[in-house]
Structure 1
């Protein structure tokens, strides 16, 4: 995996989480800006997943390859599900739902980086 891309993803997910918490504190439901923030994170995550999957299926062997691939899929799926759940019935807590999804995604990305580093790649 690319270390700089991981850092950019972590910054984007943490910023999205903070934005979700701030809008929750101001009693505002999720709006178009939340969708854009999640969309930016998703573009970065899909790019990371494509690079990592290409390298894994291209010959890189990891000690826990199936775990890595599962985390890769989970990292892509969490934020869109959180956004859908948050906007299904817009309330002030939608931002908190997005924040929790963003934090969960950040943890998955950190775990991906750890599994990649354990492979010595």
Structure 2
């Protein structure tokens, strides 16, 4: 894994979580700008997942299947949370995405811990 890319995804998911909580505090449902922000973070996560998957198949990891599962989860959580947030737009939509962003942040942190090539 690339530390700079992981740091960028951690910062992006953290910023998305804060943005979601700010929208909730302002009593506003998420708008189209929020969906664009989620899309940017998901694109960053997809790049990380693609690079991580390619690199994982080139090395031996102690928990390779767990690493690959965390890669898949890191990409899937935010789109699902966004679907829930926009299904019935209320002020709590931002909180739903914020929780998804925090879960994704934890998954990326766990990916960093699992990346131990060579055993």
TM range (shorter): over 0.9
TM-score by length of 1: 0.95
**Partner in structure 1 of residue 6 of structure 2:** 6
**Partner in structure 2 of residue 41 of structure 1:** 41
Note if 1:22 corresponds to 2:32: no
Note if 1:85 corresponds to 2:81: no
* CA root-mean-square deviation: 1.1
2: CA distance between counterparts of 1:89 and 1:7? 32
**C-alpha displacement of 1:120:** 5.5
SS at match of 2:90: coil
**Partner in structure 2 of residue 51 of structure 1:** 51
In structure 1, list runs of 5 or more residues that go unmatched. Answer: none
2: CA distance between counterparts of 1:120 and 1:103? 30
SS at match of 1:98: helix
**C-alpha displacement of 1:15:** 0.4
1: CA distance between counterparts of 2:9 and 2:38? 11
In structure 2, list runs of 5 or more residues that go unmatched. Answer: none
**C-alpha displacement of 1:33:** 1.4
**Partner in structure 2 of residue 68 of structure 1:** 67
Are the equivalent residues in 1 in contact too, given 2:67–2:111 (CA < 8 A)? yes
**Stretches (4+) displaced over 3 A:** 118-121
SS at match of 1:91: coil
**C-alpha displacement of 1:100:** 0.2
**C-alpha displacement of 1:119:** 3.3
**Partner in structure 2 of residue 111 of structure 1:** 110
